[in-house]
Amino acid sequence: MSFESQIIKSRPFFNKQQIRRLQKHTINNKLNYEVNKTQILNKVNKICYELKFPRCTLETSIYFYQRYYLFNKFESEYCFIVGVSCILLSSKQMETVKKINEICSVALKLRNTEAENMSNQNAKINPEVLENFKKRVIQIEQRILESCCFDYRIYYLNHGINLSESLILIGKDLKVDKEVCKLGWIICYDVLNTELILILPGFLISFVILKISSEIFQLHYKESNYESPFFDTDKYSIRKDFSDEAYFTILNMYINKFDSFEIKNYNKISLSIETFMKLKEVAGEESGISMLSEDQLDLDSYINEIRDFNIKERRYVLDSTIIENEIK
């Protein structure tokens, strides 16, 4: 009698090419996925706001959502349920726990309100509908955790996915101006629309966000005595190619779709596409994480083999030596 077993090493982050390879197996229509992702981000944000969750819960939810669709087929009719399941799991992992009844009730009221264009969010939810919705939400939880390989390291501040707390800590450490930090807070939210949180740790992204925010103020007040803090990558052991990857991804995000993001509502200083084009011009030639060859990508079984969730024993490890010992 044969018994199938699978052991997988966790990889919390991927580069853009690896993400494209993984999505090739799970997403048939990238445009449809991107449109739905933006809609889900807005809905998840509204649910988190209604439940008074901190920003870290929202950020972790969006990481879970994007990570889920690296290894699971994207079907637009189920993405709302996946989003709610990500909130439930995120609330547990970030220790901001709410009862599943409360989360699902708020989610269903939001969905019903948007679907029927109703203004009454206090309308009661049918108990049977709520129970069925809860079951579907719970069923997805394990699959989300498996998509992350049960990797607890993503919740650690310096190596994890938390943007907002990192932004506050770096801002305090570098004595960054309060208004610069406020602008950085808005950019942190906008960045959730990108795949950057699948590529780089939150601490690094937040460092770059504060750098961009500070440069924007420096550009605006160029004739005054505004002093920008020195953003030393060596101080935080940040690799330059990683820093450049985040820097140019954020600038390109605003250059391509400025009017689609929250930053357009910022009114302390005047901002436009030209602001980010100017920063890009000053920065010089675009750079970032080195590209892999097609041969290198083809040899990486992790991104080329479709996950088989029908295998009964599926184990996830953080250290490759465990896999090596098993092979021996």
Residue range 193-205, pLDDT digits in tens: 999 999 999 999 9
**CATH code (residue 33):** 1.10.472.10
Tell me: pLDDT of 116 over 80.
Answer: no
Residue range 50-63, pLDDT digits in tens: 999 999 999 999 99
Q: Which residue has the higher pLDDT, 120 or 292?
A: 292
Q: What is the pLDDT of residue 153?
A: 80
DSSP-derived letter for residue 223 is T
pTM, whole model, 2 decimals? Answer: 0.90
Q: What is the pLDDT of residue 114?
A: 67
Residue range 58-112, pLDDT digits in tens: 999 999 999 999 999 998 889 999 999 999 999 998 888 899 999 999 999 998 8
Domain finish residue from 120, 152, 184? 152
| Model confidence band, residue 226 (pLDDT cutoffs 50, 70, 90) | low
**Mean pLDDT (whole number) for 163-173:** 92
Domain that holds residue 82: 5-152
Domain count, the chain: 2
Please check whether residue 315 lies inside any domain of the structure: no
Tell me: pLDDT of 314 over 60.
Answer: yes
Q: What is the pLDDT of residue 328?
A: 57
Please check whether residue 220 lies inside any domain of the structure: yes
CA nearest to 269, candidates 215, 230, 227: 215
9 & 148 share domain: yes
Domain finish residue from 152, 183, 199? 152
Distances (CA, A) of 116 to 36, 43, 111: 19, 15, 9
216 & 103 share domain: no
Q: What is the pLDDT of residue 1?
A: 42
33 & 97 share domain: yes
Percent over 90 (pLDDT), the chain: 66
101 & 180 share domain: no
Q: Are 173 and 236 in contact (CB under 8 A)?
A: no
**β-pairing, 5-9 with 313-317?**
parallel
Amino acid at 235: K
Q: What is the pLDDT of residue 299?
A: 92
128 & 198 share domain: no
34 & 138 share domain: yes
**What is the rounded distance in angstroms from the CA atom of residue 106 to the CA atom of residue 268?**
33
247 & 205 share domain: yes
168 & 191 share domain: yes
Q: What is the pLDDT of residue 219?
A: 81
125 & 185 share domain: no
Helix H or strand E segment including 5:
strand 5-9
**CATH code (residue 204):** 1.10.472
